[in-house]
Amino acid sequence: MKILLLVPGLPLNLENIKGGVNSATLNLLEGCKIFDINIQVISFTNEVKNKITIPFSSKINIIYIPEGRFNYHALNYLLIVPFKLRNQIKIIKPDLIHFEVGNSFMLSKLFGIYKTKYLLTIHGMSYDEAKHKIKIKDKIIWYFNGLIQNIMYPKYIIHLSNFSKKKFDCMKNQIFDIIPNAVPDKYFNIPIKTKTDNNLLYIGLIDVNKNILHLLKSLKDLISKGYKYTLNIVGDFYSKKYKNIISAYIYDNDLDNYIHFNGWVSKSELIPFIQKSDILVVCSMHESLPMVIAECMSSGKVVIASDVGGIPEMIKDNETGFLFSLNHENELTEKLIMLYDNNITCNKIANNARKHGYKYYNTNIVAKKTIDFYKLIINDQY
């Protein structure tokens, strides 16, 4: 079985991956290494000027191909990438093509894939993302992405969650499976802490949708009541305007001594931040199935997250983690008060979270489910 897996913008140095689809792709490849399957990954990127092939394992290669000369990705995907893709299909002759990204990237299939069967993993909901964008330009781009994805919605789909599946129930004739993103072994190997140090962790892009302001307001209340949590932030701001808003809030409320900004770090550098933390906090207004939650649960960390999107499928409240409603202003604060210096509860939840992570997110398990779905599609006669 030969699979052609397509993903845009995969960095040449895989250590520089900043989560999201690229991280999910890498983790899937890690799981596939132990199976008898040939995977050729093509990433269209302007990080290279010429085609480069880098072995990932004995049966997996990553092929980097220049995306194109236009400043807008969608134009490259429409006018340049399809012809480059067609040439690679002639060479590779895959049994199946796997798009790891939809949106305008689906334009790359025009004129390019002949009659080869293809599937798409849906990692996000463009229309929902668009609602939380501030700039008109960003809203237009994300609505356009959603429109293209819906027009080119394929027959074969991998959903990350039931939430995603329900969002696309209106699409006809889909053959699908629900397979979450994988988490590699290094996260499961992080020792579970027996004593809490009251260290909070935030990982990811800092923008309006990720809603870090909700966390900062909770932190302000906690400190005023004597619960002196510290917060490590790994990631960076989407815009200078939002950075100014957050910086002003931190300064006005004397939170500087409790918050540490670390910027983006490499995948290996992220592990120590997770290791020394006690609680990951996610306050997003919209999510599908966040990689960061799966990674931290698998690492044996307590996760407190807003009950939006697919997150309630990941966390069983008070058992494998904690959920809170963004509509209840003090709920996050109350749960963090309950966990402060609470070694017994933190340890119990951490162990339950790791068991859940191993059952659902282990790379080998996710890879096996994905390969089984590949076989189903290849053998489908309709």
Residues of the chain with CATH 3.40.50.2000: 2-182+362-379, 185-361
> For residue 204, is it left (φ>0), alpha (ψ between -120 and 50) or beta?
left
Task: Note the pLDDT of residue 248.
Answer: 97
Separation of alpha carbons 280 and 28, rounded Å: 23
Chain mean pLDDT for the chain: 91
- Taking only the tens place, the pLDDT of each residue in 131-185 is 666 677 677 766 666 677 777 778 899 999 998 888 777 666 678 999 999 999 9
Task: Note the pLDDT of residue 126.
Answer: 58
Average pLDDT over residues 254-264: 96
CA distances from 32 to 61, 207, 314, 368 (A): 12, 34, 23, 8
Query: Cβ distance 334 to 217 under 8 Å?
Result: no
- Taking only the tens place, the pLDDT of each residue in 282-306 is 999 988 889 999 999 999 999 999 9
Task: Note the pLDDT of residue 64.
Answer: 98
> DSSP string spanning 88-139?
HHHHH--SEEEES--GGGGGGGTTTSTT--EEEEE---HHHHHHT--SHHHH
Separation of alpha carbons 201 and 170, rounded Å: 37
Per-residue pLDDT band at 125 (split at 50, 70, 90): low
Separation of alpha carbons 69 and 15, rounded Å: 26
Separation of alpha carbons 270 and 187, rounded Å: 10
Higher pLDDT, 224 or 127: 224
- Taking only the tens place, the pLDDT of each residue in 353-374 is 999 999 999 999 999 999 999 9
CATH of 2-182+362-379, one of 2.60.40.1760, 3.40.50.2000, 3.90.700.10, 3.90.320.10: 3.40.50.2000
Q: pTM to 2 decimals?
A: 0.89
- Taking only the tens place, the pLDDT of each residue in 7-30 is 999 999 998 887 788 999 999 999
The single-letter code of the amino acid at 1 is: M
Query: Cβ distance 199 to 232 under 8 Å?
Result: yes
Query: Cβ distance 79 to 67 under 8 Å?
Result: no
Query: Cβ distance 132 to 105 under 8 Å?
Result: no
- Taking only the tens place, the pLDDT of each residue in 234-251 is 999 988 999 999 999 999
Separation of alpha carbons 281 and 146, rounded Å: 28
Q: What are phi and psi of 10, to 5 degrees?
A: -70, 125
Separation of alpha carbons 278 and 230, rounded Å: 10
The continuous run of DSSP H or E covering 229 comes out as none
CB environment 312-343: b (16+ within 10 A), e (fewer): bbbbeeeebbbbbeeeeeebbbebbbebbebe
Nearest to 322 by CA among 342, 306, 343: 306
Top-tier CATH class for 185-361 = alpha beta
